[in-house]
């Protein structure tokens, strides 16, 4: 399948609604807030569904939201406005992103595209800044987030340079199972082999082979429409035989 054509950038406001209690439950940093802070945030939070191929934010657009993935899978591509240098990162449930640009009230530096139909939450820039000024735990969360993601991007560049497909799949998967960055993933990541191939830059067939190799080694278990991690450490350190 060819990837769906991107629709022109998206107003997340459209078709947005208030988050359900269940969805709030899955937002990791909410629990760290004081009741009054929490109230204001919940009031401002909006969730919206984005279709496969839709762009959430585009390089150069002014940052208006801090985004989080409730459900689904996004692709974050870090290409310069001029073009080539690319790194891809998957954005599974539980991931929040855009803080770097929202912090400085700049423009987005990434393209964020939905790999499949996804549920996304957005917190307005103003509220984001208000929180930074009021909650120390929130500041900690954001700092840790920035730090971890930096590590992710450095790792992603290394993955790009590696030639062995099995290793690339293993490392990319390990990154998606990052417990701090993507707490919503748990031990079962909902991702099709097609989507994984699109992220890693391999054909679906090759991904299928790689996954079965990884399963053979006891790192993962292949499930319909997803992958379950059995041994995250082994996945990180996977080497071809």
Q: Determine how many CB atoms are found less than 10 A away from the CB of residue 156.
A: 19
- For residues 82-141, which are near DNA according to CB under 7 A? 116
Asked if residue 156 binds DNA (CB under 7 A), the reply is no
Whole-angstrom distance, CA of residue 185 vs CA of residue 132: 26
Nearest approach in angstroms of CB 59 to DNA is 28
Nearest approach in angstroms of CB 203 to DNA is 7
Nearest to 152 by CA among 88, 220, 59: 88
Q: Determine how many CB atoms are found less than 10 A away from the CB of residue 60.
A: 11
Tell me the residue ranges of DSSP E strands in the chain. 46-50, 55-57, 65-71, 74-77, 88-91, 96-97, 111-114, 118-124, 188-189, 220-223, 226-229
Nearest approach in angstroms of CB 50 to DNA is 16
Determine the 3-state secondary structure of 225 from DSSP: coil
Determine the 3-state secondary structure of 154 from DSSP: helix
Total site size for DNA, rule CB under 7 A? 13
The contact pattern for DNA, residues 160-199, with x = CB under 7 A and - = no contact, is --------------------------------xxx-----
The contact pattern for DNA, residues 196-225, with x = CB under 7 A and - = no contact, is --------xx--x--xx---------x-xx
Asked if residue 77 binds DNA (CB under 7 A), the reply is no
Applying CB under 7 A, the residues found at the interface with DNA are 116, 192-194, 204-205, 208, 211-212, 222, 224-226
């Amino acid at each position: 399948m060819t990837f769906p054509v991107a629709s022109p950038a998206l107003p997340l406001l459209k078709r947005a609604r208030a988050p359900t209690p269940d969805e709030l439950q899955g937002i990791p940093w909410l629990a760290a807030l004081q009741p009054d802070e929490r109230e204001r945030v919940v009031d401002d939070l909006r969730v919206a569904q984005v279709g496969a191929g839709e762009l959430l934010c585009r390089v150069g657009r002014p940052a208006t939201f801090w985004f989080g993935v409730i459900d689904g899978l996004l692709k974050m591509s870090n290409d310069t406005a001029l073009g080539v240098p690319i790194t891809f990162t998957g954005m599974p449930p539980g991931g929040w992103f855009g803080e770097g640009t929202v912090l400085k009230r700049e423009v987005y530096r990434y393209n964020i595209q939905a790999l499949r139909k996804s549920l996304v939450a957005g917190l307005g820039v103003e509220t984001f800044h208000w929180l930074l000024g009021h909650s120390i735990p929130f500041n900690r969360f954001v700092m840790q987030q920035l730090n971890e993601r930096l590590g992710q991007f450095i790792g992603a560049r290394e993955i790009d340079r590696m030639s062995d497909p099995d290793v690339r799949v293993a490392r990319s998967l390990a990154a998606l199972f990052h417990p701090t960055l993507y707490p919503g993933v748990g031990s079962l990541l909902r991702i099709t082999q097609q989507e994984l191939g699109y992220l890693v830059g391999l054909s679906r067939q090759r991904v299928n082979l790689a996954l079965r190799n990884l399963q053979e080694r006891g790192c993962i278990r292949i499930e319909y429409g997803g992958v379950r991690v059995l041994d995250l450490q082994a996945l990180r350190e996977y080497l071809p035989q």
